[in-house]
Structures are given as structure tokens and as C-alpha cells.
């Protein structure tokens, strides 16, 4: 399968933005059927290095033929439809070939994370093996980038196949009949980004996946053939082991025949400007990022003159949306053609395949600024007034996709009125069928009537959903509901030496003091005097702005744990503190 690779005799060109086909929006029964259609056009995946060099152009036509060959190789090894194939997800052509090979074979691919956001080799391998065992995988594919760890990853696992993509692709071709893929069949397992200690794979059927990508393309991004969308093109650095990368910028574009330019996730933090330069160079129109991605770009800028005027959907999701960061990005790149109206807030999670809601296009970020103290004491998002002492600005994340519903409920299950904060529940055709082989955990969040408890808190406003945080992260002190991200943002925004994701706030039960609020601060200072000053400044800031006493603990740089998608994980940070992992 070397025909897609660059050679000195054949100049490499990215696939075009126009497929030449009549645009379809996920109206297929399965992803193999969608690829069969996309393969009749000219678009495809384009794999770039972290420096922006095109490494491989993979038209959907070529991908289809290669995936069919992979499917037969996999089945020839003794794998049977329904078996799980764990695939460590490097953003390259091999991932695409093997993922879609599994789709054609009726196998269930399980994308697994690379060691981007894990605290060292040992913790990463332990997490990876936990996911492999939870999925009961019969095959494990380990890319060359972590090939030296392969023996430790695969040790003592009972597998039909284990090894590198090259080893799999070198197997002899086989003449094996492929199964008919049905809408009810499992398409893939997606481990949610917080799945570490007790990993749970989200089971997504072909039907649910297709319902979501159709809603994203047709109703969320509106990729209708028109003067503004005929040349739609996706550019992404998002990880393919996370739902926003896998569904949003791998599966969705293929199902509506769009080309995608993929950058390696592991290189983004080092060279965020390459993302913008690739959007400029290839006239990208659709690109997404969590808040921290826009923040990195705003801080580092671009190395060369760029034109972002074609970027019509600058999506934001994957974590709490920070409007201040987006405002700074828009200001920084306004002279490069970026229009702040391109920002589109959205809300979703792996348990709903990906998207639940989209804010309206071409309106930019819409916000609601509320009285923070009133919210903490009354669970009501009251607009600010002349008497407001402290405020908080939230982002409106749009209405539910057609065919889906969103409700905000009280602890007793009552649907709450506008501006009342409660737990967010969702319903619709793109919900998971459950956590793989976890019936009790599934039952705890997914009711018999099909409503999913998202575990998020929020309120409704003007028909849109506003997300305020995770229920499990909420800190309750003396009857006040304190959102940890409020304290984290205050410290990172007000203290010049702190950066995004430098602060983790949570509560612990102290035998002497009762419930105590703790803030772990990543500190790069070495002198004891400056360290003491930082600790005092943060303590004073929390007391002054939020009226709460916080035990501030300084920890070394790069020690706060993150999820596989790059989000701060407070639960793991708390567990590490209680286990003494940060020392004295």
C-alpha cells in the first residue's frame, strides 16, 4: 500500500476542496456506505507534519480500496465481526486505512490516545492497557512513534494480532467475503477523555454515528452547496482518539465529501501557528479548537503573513468556553482577515457521539453576564445589576440539533424554567447505546425512556443551553455553590506568571477543618521568597474576588494531570494530592 506515499518522481498535491459529487449529508445507513459514495469524488484526507509539510494525500477513492484490503487481512487473521480492534490513534493515513478497514470488516475499532497528556511512560501504559482490557480487544495496533513501548503494552494480552501498522499491512492479501454492515451494528468504541482509572468505552452504532454527523454537517455547520460553502475545507490538529477530532474532523467530513487537512496533535502546542498558516494556505473554512488552542495562537501569533478571511466556522468546544480568550484571538488576528462572527459555540460529549447543540452561524459568541454571588447562593443565573459585586460571563451554546432535545432538571427531576440552574439531560437519535459491557454504569446515566444524564450543570436562555460546569466538580461551602473554574480563571487571568491550565481547584474533607478548598498551582519560580509571594498573592486574590479561603499549594511545572483531550482533570489532581504524589 505504498501508492499514496510521496516519491521523488511524483509531486505530492493535496486533494481538492471540491469533490465533483452532489453533496450528501450523512444520509447513509453506515460509514462504509458513506465512504463508497465519497470514493466516487476527488476529495480526501491530507496528512501534514508538525511543520506543515504534506506527507501523504489520501483521496477517498484510494482510501476505500486500501480499507477493503485491510478488512480482508484482519478477518483472515481469525478476527470475527463484532471483535474489537484497539488502535493507538496517530493522525496519519495508517489510522484511516485501519479504522475504515474495521468498518468494512464489521470489526469495532477502539481509538486509543497517544502519550500527549499523561504523566510519563508508566502511567500512560497502565492507562492504555486498562482501555484495551475494558474493550476486550482481540487485536492491538501500536504505531511506530511508540513502537519501543510495544512489548510492555502488549505483554500477556490474549490477542489474535498485536503489532505495528506496517506489520498488519504487510500481511498477505486474502480473498474473503465481507459482511453486510447494518445500521444497528456497533461502529466503534470511544473512551471519554476522563476515562483513566475505570475506563468506560462509549458504544456508538452505525445509526447513531450517522445521525450525529448528519446533524453536524446539515444543521450545525450548514455545508450546503452555495457560493460561501462550495469550497468548504476542514483543517484540524484535534486528536483522533477524542470525539471532537474523530467525529468532527474525520468522520463528518468524509460523510459529506469534504477534504480534511490533518496536523499531528502532539506537535500543536509547540507550533500552533502552523494550524493558522495551513488554514491560510489551503483556504480552510472549517476548524475547531478548545479555548486553550485559541489562547496558544493568540500568544504566539503567526510566523508569516496569513489570510484567515475564508475561515467561516471557527468552532469552540471540548471544555468550558472562555470568551475573554476568544476576544483576544479575534483582536490579534483581525488584521489577518479573521472575522469574530466566525466563532461558533457548541456543546457535546462522547456519550452523544459528539454534538448536542450549535449556536447560530455568523453571529459570533453570544454571552450572558450574571451575578455570581446570587448564582452561588440561589442557583439562579440573575443578570448583573448596579448592586452586583462579582459577575461571571457564560457563553450561549445554541439549540439542540433537530431530532434531539435538551432539558435542565432539578434534583427531583422537575424541568426547570429559564435561568434556573440544574442538571442537563439530553435525548435523541445520536445517543450511545451504553458503556461497553458496563450495564450498571449505563443504567446510572441512561434511562429506559432514552434520556441521558450528562453530568453537566447549566441553564436555558432564549431557547439555548448555557453550560456552567460539571456536577462532580461543584464545590459546596456554607451553602454556596462554587464553580472551580471561576477561581482557576481568576488566578490565571490576574496573576501574570500563571498560564492557562496552571491551576486546579477542588475541595477535600479535612478532619480538623471540615470541607476545605484547595488550589494546586504550577509554579516555575525557584526562589523561596518569590514562591511565598505568589502563594500569598493567589490566596489574597481568592479571598478578595470570591470571598473564600483557599489552601494554595505550589506544585512543579507540567505535573497537573490532563485528560487525553488536553483538559485539566481535577478529580485526578485531587487523587494525586491525597496520595502524596506532589510531595511535601
pLDDT in tens, 181-208: 999 999 999 997 554 456 899 999 999 9
On the question of pLDDT at 583 being above 70, the answer is: no
Where among 215, 232, 249 does a domain terminate? 232
Is residue 448 located within the same domain as residue 572? no
Question: Is residue 458 domain-resident?
Answer: yes
434 in a structural domain: yes
Average pLDDT, the chain: 91
For the stretch 437-454, pLDDT in tens is 999 999 999 999 999 999
State how far the Cα of 309 lies from the Cα of 326, in Å rounded to an integer: 17
Which of 336, 289, 328 is closest to 309 using CA atoms?
Answer: 336
Looking at the chain, the whole-number percentage of residues with pLDDT higher than 90 is: 71
Query: What range defines the domain where residue 427 resides?
Result: 348-353+368-472
Q: Are residues 147 and 12 in the same domain?
A: yes
Residue 240 lies in a domain: no
pLDDT band at residue 472 under the 50/70/90 scheme: confident
Integer Cα distance of 385 and 52 in angstroms: 49
Indicate the pairing of strand 355-358 with strand 399-400: antiparallel
523 lies in the same domain as 442:
no
pLDDT range class, residue 497, cuts 50, 70, 90: confident
Q: Is residue 324 part of a domain?
A: no
Model confidence pLDDT, tens digit, residues 230-255: 799 999 999 999 999 999 999 999 99
- Assigned domain for 500 exists: yes
Is residue 167 predicted with pLDDT exceeding 70? yes
Integer angstrom CA distances of residue 218 from 7, 23, 195, 208, 314 = 38, 10, 31, 15, 17
Q: Where are the beta strands (DSSP E) in 264-383?
A: 286-289, 313-316, 343-348, 355-358, 367-371
Quick one: angle between helices 528-546 and 484-494, nearest 10?
A: 130
Last residue of a domain, one of 442, 472, 502: 472
> Where residue 3 falls among pLDDT bands split at 50, 70, 90?
very low
Place of cell 450495564: 439
Give pLDDT, residue 8: 43
Q: Please, what's the largest Cα pairwise distance for the chain?
A: 76
Is residue 334 one of the residues assigned to a domain?
no
Question: How do residues 64-106 score in pLDDT, each as one tens digit?
Answer: 999 999 999 999 999 999 999 999 999 999 999 999 999 999 9
Q: How confident is the model at residue 362 (pLDDT cuts 50, 70, 90)?
A: very high
Residues 457 and 480 in one domain: no
Q: Where are the alpha helices (DSSP H) in 77-170?
A: 93-105, 121-135, 150-154, 165-169
Question: Is 72 in the same domain as 179?
Answer: yes
Q: Which of 439, 472, 505 is the last residue of a domain?
A: 472
3-state secondary structure of 435: strand
Query: Has residue 330 been placed in a domain?
Result: no
Q: Are residues 506 and 419 in the same domain?
A: no
Is 220 found in the same domain as 90?
A: yes
DSSP string, 476-489: EETTEEE-HHHHHH
4-to-1, 9, 69, 98, 261 alpha-carbon distances in Å: 7, 13, 14, 15, 15
Q: How many domains does the chain have?
A: 3
CB 286 within 8 A of CB 221: yes
What's residue 195's pLDDT?
46
Residues 289-344 pLDDT 10s: 998 899 999 988 777 789 999 999 999 987 788 899 999 999 999 999 999 999 99
Nearest 10 degrees: Cα torsion 466, 472, 474, 477: 160
Backbone angles phi, psi at 61, to 5 degrees: -65, -45
Query: Cα(456)–Cα(447) distance, rounded to whole angstroms?
Result: 16
Q: What's the whole-model pTM score?
A: 0.88
Q: Residue 484 belongs to a domain with what CATH number?
A: 3.30.300.30
- 383 and 498, same structural domain? no
Question: Do 561 and 569 contact (CB within 8 A), yes or no?
Answer: yes
- pLDDT above 70 covers a percentage of the chain that reads 94
CA distances from 462 to 312, 397, 419 (A): 24, 11, 10
Please report whether residue 320 resides in a domain: no
Amino acid at each position: 500500500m505504498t501508492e499514496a506515499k510521496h516519491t521523488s518522481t511524483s509531486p505530492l498535491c493535496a486533494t481538492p476542496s471540491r469533490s465533483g459529487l452532489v453533496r450528501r449529508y450523512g444520509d447513509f445507513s453506515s460509514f462504509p456506505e458513506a465512504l463508497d459514495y465519497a470514493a466516487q469524488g476527488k476529495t480526501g484526507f491530507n496528512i501534514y507534519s508538525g511543520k506543515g509539510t504534506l506527507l501523504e494525500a489520501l483521496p477517498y477513492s484510494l482510501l476505500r480500496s486500501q480499507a477493503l484490503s485491510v478488512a480482508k487481512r484482519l478477518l483472515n487473521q481469525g478476527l470475527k465481526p463484532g471483535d474489537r480492534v484497539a488502535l493507538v490513534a496517530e493522525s496519519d493515513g495508517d489510522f484511516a486505512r485501519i479504522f475504515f478497514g474495521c468498518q468494512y470488516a464489521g470489526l469495532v475499532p477502539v481509538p486509543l490516545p497517544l502519550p500527549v497528556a499523561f504523566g510519563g511512560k508508566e502511567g500512560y501504559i497502565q492507562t492504555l492497557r486498562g482501555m484495551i482490557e475494558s474493550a476486550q480487544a482481540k487485536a492491538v495496533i501500536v504505531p511506530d512513534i511508540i513502537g519501543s513501548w510495544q512489548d510492555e503494552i502488549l505483554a500477556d494480552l490474549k490477542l489474535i494480532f498485536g503489532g505495528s501498522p506496517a506489520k498488519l499491512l504487510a500481511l498477505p492479501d486474502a480473498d474473503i467475503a465481507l459482511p453486510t454492515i447494518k445500521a444497528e451494528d456497533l461502529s466503534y468504541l470511544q473512551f471519554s477523555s476522563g476515562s483513566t482509572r475505570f475506563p468506560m468505552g462509549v458504544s456508538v452504532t452505525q445509526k447513531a454515528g450517522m445521525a450525529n454527523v448528519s446533524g453536524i454537517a446539515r444543521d450545525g455547520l450548514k455545508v450546503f452547496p452555495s457560493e460561501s460553502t462550495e469550497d468548504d475545507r476542514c483543517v484540524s490538529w484535534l486528536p483522533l482518539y477524542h470525539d471532537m477530532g474523530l467525529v468532527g474532523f474525520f468522520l463528518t467530513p468524509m460523510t459529506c465529501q469534504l477534504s480534511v487537512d490533518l496536523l499531528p496533535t502532539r506537535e500543536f502546542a509547540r507550533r500552533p501557528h502552523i494550524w493558522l498558516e495551513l488554514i491560510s494556505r489551503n483556504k480552510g473554512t472549517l476548524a475547531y479548537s478548545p479555548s486553550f488552542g485559541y489562547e496558544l495562537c493568540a500568544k504566539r501569533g503567526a510566523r508569516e503573513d496569513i489570510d484567515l478571511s475564508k475561515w467561516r466556522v471557527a468552532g469552540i468546544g471540548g471544555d468550558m468556553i472562555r470568551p475573554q480568550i476568544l476576544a483576544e484571538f479575534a483582536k490579534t488576528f483581525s488584521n489577518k482577515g479573521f472575522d469574530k462572527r466566525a466563532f461558533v459555540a457548541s456543546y457535546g460529549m462522547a456519550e452523544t457521539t459528539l454534538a448536542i447543540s450549535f449556536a447560530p452561524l455568523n453571529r459570533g459568541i453570544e454571552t450572558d453576564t450574571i451575578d455570581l454571588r446570587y448564582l452561588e447562593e440561589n442557583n439562579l443565573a440573575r443578570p448583573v445589576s448596579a448592586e452586583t459585586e462579582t459577575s461571571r460571563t457564560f457563553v450561549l451554546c445554541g439549540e439542540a440539533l433537530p431530532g434531539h432535545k435538551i432539558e435542565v432538571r432539578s434534583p427531583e427531576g422537575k424541568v426547570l424554567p429559564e435561568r434556573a440552574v440544574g442538571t442537563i439531560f439530553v435525548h435523541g437519535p445520536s445517543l450511545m447505546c451504553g458503556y461497553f459491557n458496563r450495564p450498571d454504569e449505563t443504567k446510572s446515566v441512561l434511562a429506559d425512556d432514552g434520556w441521558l444524564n450528562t453530568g453537566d450543570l447549566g441553564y436555558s436562555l432564549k431557547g439555548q443551553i448555557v453550560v456552567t460546569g460539571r456536577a462532580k466538580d461543584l464545590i459546596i461551602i456554607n451553602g454556596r455553590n462554587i464553580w472551580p473554574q471561576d477561581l482557576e480563571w481568576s488566578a490565571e487571568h490576574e496573576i501574570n506568571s500563571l498560564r492557562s491550565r496552571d491551576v486546579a481547584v477542588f475541595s477535600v474533607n479535612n478532619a480538623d477543618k471540615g470541607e476545605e478548598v484547595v488550589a494546586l498551582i504550577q509554579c516555575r519560580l525557584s526562589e523561596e521568597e518569590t514562591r511565598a509571594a505568589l502563594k500569598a498573592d493567589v490566596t489574597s486574590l481568592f479571598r478578595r474576588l470570591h470571598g473564600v479561603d483557599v489552601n494554595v499549594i505550589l506544585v512543579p511545572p507540567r505535573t497537573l494531570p490532563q485528560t487525553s483531550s488536553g483538559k485539566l482533570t481535577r478529580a485526578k489532581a485531587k487523587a494525586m494530592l491525597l496520595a502524596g504524589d506532589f510531595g511535601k
